[in-house]
Amino acid sequence: MSLNLSAEQPAVPDDADDGVWLECIECGDTFAPFEDVRYTCDACDGLLEVRYADLPTFDDFEGEGVWRYADALPLAEGVTIQEGGTPLYEVPRLEESVGVEALRIKHEGMNPTGSFKDRGMTVGVAVAKELGVDRLACASTGNTSAALAAYGSRGGMETLVLLPSGKVAAGKVAQASLHGARILEVDGNFDACLDIVQELAEGGEAYLLNSLNPFRLEGQKTIGLEILEGFRADYGTVPDRIVLPVGNAGNTAALYKAFRELVQAGELAEDDVPKLTGVQAEGAAPMVEAIENGADEIRRWDDVETRATAIRIGNPVNAPKALPGIRETGGTAVAVSDEEITDAQRDLAGEGIGVEPASAASVAGLRKLRAEGIVDDDERVACLTTGHLLKDPDAAAAAGNDPEPVPADTAGVLEHLQEN
């Protein structure tokens, strides 16, 4: 299997372009990266990964944001809105109440459109230009559509987004709308939207920019590279564990790929690779089920429900890349309730960090695993928060304080403050 941590650097095939090629994770077939549009393997329909003849070292990285890591990416530059370079916040009160040696929050909500999706789109939309396509499309629980709309318009391309009707948070629809995407509201859940958009893409209607697209995950690798650089700068060592919310498991796959490449390049010892720990909502937890059952494949959940609409997903398409990542790094997966998610959202807000519900799942999961003794008290942990509070203003208002009506004079306001 090519996805284990000790995999050798593969031989460079004839179809490589400037040392870059696509390889099927199932059968190993290789393809030229920028000649034809392709999302999965021609031979066996397996997922594809981008491969490189030369893997960079940390010394090769310079500059800011996602493109600091250009040597680890398939192109030298992207369609950019200055994504990446997000904060790695200290959270002393939360660190103490969870009970770990160190806790940092990598807040991806601080990207240009307010989620980690921007890191994938800066690469994916640039590849779309390289391929010469004119229309871009995605299915989305919201954030992917917001990012695609913004990066598509930045790149001067038409965008089409398919959203599950009534299940996308208001901020995300507003973004897709203003950035000029055509928004198709589908009477079905996210997985149904993805089935449709995949068929449209196969039929040549548009270029698919869901995380099934291997180029998008290259951009998302930079989350892992930034976390490692941040921990090395502050603690002199990499984190023991990275906890992240899981929907399609794209980030889980991307972080694992980043670590595999660092191991191959001799930049990270196999024993030091952070334990990838995925968190899902109880009402949408097929990855957790597969990890708990030791299964190689996930069972698609047809009925999914959670307040964390961003991860309301029953068929994580990147599971074949992500399951080995969780297992090989000694990580795990855990499901949390909507109440635990909201509590964690309040905990983060109490440290000044505003996140949408799906993002808070990482902290809720860490708290649960620590309470169960699966996470030790001497661990240094990074939690990923994937999207900004303003993405889902309704969830924030429901979790927070209610406004108090007062009269329009100071005496009335003072009276109200004294009485309540």
Rounded Cα–Cα distance for residues 385 and 186 (Å):
27
Residue 28 or 154 with smaller CB distance to ligand F0G: 154
For ligand F0G, the binding residues in 348-367 under the rule CB under 6 A are: 356, 358-359
Rounded Cα–Cα distance for residues 405 and 398 (Å):
17
- Binding segment toward ligand F0G, per CB under 6 A, in 69-77, 224-232, 244-252, 396-404: 244-252
Whether the Cβ atoms of residue 114 and residue 390 lie closer than 8 Å to each other: yes
Structure tokens at 284: 């949408």
Select from 143, 198, 332, 342 the one that contacts ligand F0G (CB under 6 A): 143
Select from 141, 175, 189, 222 the one that contacts ligand F0G (CB under 6 A): 141
* Binding-site string for ligand F0G from residue 261 to residue 300, where x marks contact by CB under 6 A and - marks none: ----------------------------------------
Does residue 222 bind ligand F0G (CB under 6 A)?
no
- Binding segment toward ligand F0G, per CB under 6 A, in 73-81, 85-93, 245-253, 327-335: 245-253
What distances in angstroms separate CA 29 from CA 9, 190, 210, 261, 293, one per listed residue? 15, 30, 22, 19, 30
Does residue 247 bind ligand F0G (CB under 6 A)?
yes
For ligand F0G, the binding residues in 377-416 under the rule CB under 6 A are: 386-387
Residue 216 or 367 with smaller CB distance to ligand F0G: 216
Sheet architecture: strand order including 30-31: 30-31, 20-24, 48-52
**Contacts with 339 (C-beta within 8 Å, 6 or more apart), sequence order:** none
Task: Please count the residues of the chain.
Answer: 420
Select from 40, 86, 144, 159 the one that contacts ligand F0G (CB under 6 A): 144
Select from 209, 238, 246, 363 the one that contacts ligand F0G (CB under 6 A): 246
**Contacts with 419 (C-beta within 8 Å, 6 or more apart), sequence order:** none
DSSP per position, 34-91: SSS--SB-TTT-PBEEEEESS---GGG--SSSGGGGGGGSSSS----S------EEE-
Residue 277 or 386 with smaller CB distance to ligand F0G: 386
Size of the residue set binding ligand F0G (CB under 6 A): 22
For ligand F0G, the binding residues in 71-130 under the rule CB under 6 A are: 115, 117
Residue 31 or 226 with smaller CB distance to ligand F0G: 226
Does residue 315 bind ligand F0G (CB under 6 A)?
no
For the chain, the distance separating the N- and C-terminal CA atoms, rounded to the nearest angstrom, is: 64
Rounded Cα–Cα distance for residues 257 and 332 (Å):
17
* Contacting residues toward ligand F0G, per CB under 6 A: 115, 117, 140-144, 211, 245-251, 310-311, 356, 358-359, 386-387
